[in-house]
Structure 1
Amino acid sequence: MATDRTRLVEALRADRSLSFAELARATRLDESTIATLLHQLEQDGLPMQKEGDTHFKLVDNITPIDVGDLISQLEKANFPFARQAEVLDTVDSTSDWLNREHHGGMDIHGKTCITEFQSAGRGRRGRNWRGSPYCHLMLSIGWRFQKEVTEMAGLSLSIGVAIAECLKDITGAPVGLKWPNDLWCKERKLGGILVDLNALLEGGAFAVIGIGINLREPRLDEFDTGQPVTDLASNAQDDLASRATIIASVLGSIAQALDRFEQHHFLPDQARFNALDVFSGRKVRAESDGRPLEGVGAGADEQGRYRLRCADGTVATVISGDISLSLVN
Structure 2
Amino acid sequence: IRETTRLPARVKWPNDVLVEGRKVVGILAEAAPGAEWVVVGVGINANVPEEALPRTPGHPAASLQALLGHPVDRGALIRALLRRLDRGYELLRSAGVRAVLMRWREVADTLGREVRIETPAGPVAGLAYDVDETGALLVRCDDGTVRTVTAGDLRVRER
Q: Same fold (TM over 0.5)?
A: yes
> Structure 1 residue 269 and structure 2 residue 100: aligned?
yes
Q: Label 1:242 to 1:292 Cα distance change in 2 as closer, same or farther (>3 A).
A: closer
- The one of 302, 306, 310 equivalent to 2:141 is 310
> Structure 1 residue 280 and structure 2 residue 111: aligned?
yes
Aligned residue number for residue 67 of structure 2: 235
- The one of 10, 16, 27 equivalent to 1:193 is 27
Contact 2:25 2:45 in 1 (8 A): yes
Letter in 1 for 2:63: D
Query: How far, CA to CA, are the matches of 1:246 and 1:208 in structure 2?
Result: 20
Query: How far, CA to CA, are the matches of 1:304 and 1:204 in structure 2?
Result: 18
TM-score by length of 2: 0.83
Query: How far, CA to CA, are the matches of 2:99 and 2:114 in structure 1?
Result: 26
Aligned residue number for residue 325 of structure 1: 154
Structure 1 unmatched runs, 5+: 1-166
Letter in 2 for 1:231: S
Aligned residues between the structures = 157
Structure (1/2) with the larger strand percentage: 2
Identity percentage of aligned residues: 29
The secondary structure found in structure 2 opposite 1:280 is: coil
The secondary structure found in structure 1 opposite 2:14 is: coil
TM-score by length of 1: 0.43
Letter in 1 for 2:60: P
Query: How far, CA to CA, are the matches of 2:131 and 2:67 in structure 1?
Result: 26
Q: Label 1:185 to 1:296 Cα distance change in 2 as closer, same or farther (>3 A).
A: same
Structure 2 unmatched runs, 5+: none
Structure 1 segment 121-200 matched on structure 2, within 5 A: 167-198=1-32
Deviation track 1:175-220 (CA, whole Å, cap 9, x = no partner) reads 1111111111112110111112135xxx742222111111121154
The secondary structure found in structure 2 opposite 1:198 is: coil
Query: How far, CA to CA, are the matches of 1:216 and 1:240 in structure 2?
Result: 6
Q: Which has the larger radius of gyration?
A: 1
Contact 1:285 1:294 in 2 (8 A): yes
Let me know the Cα RMSD of the aligned residues.
Answer: 2.4
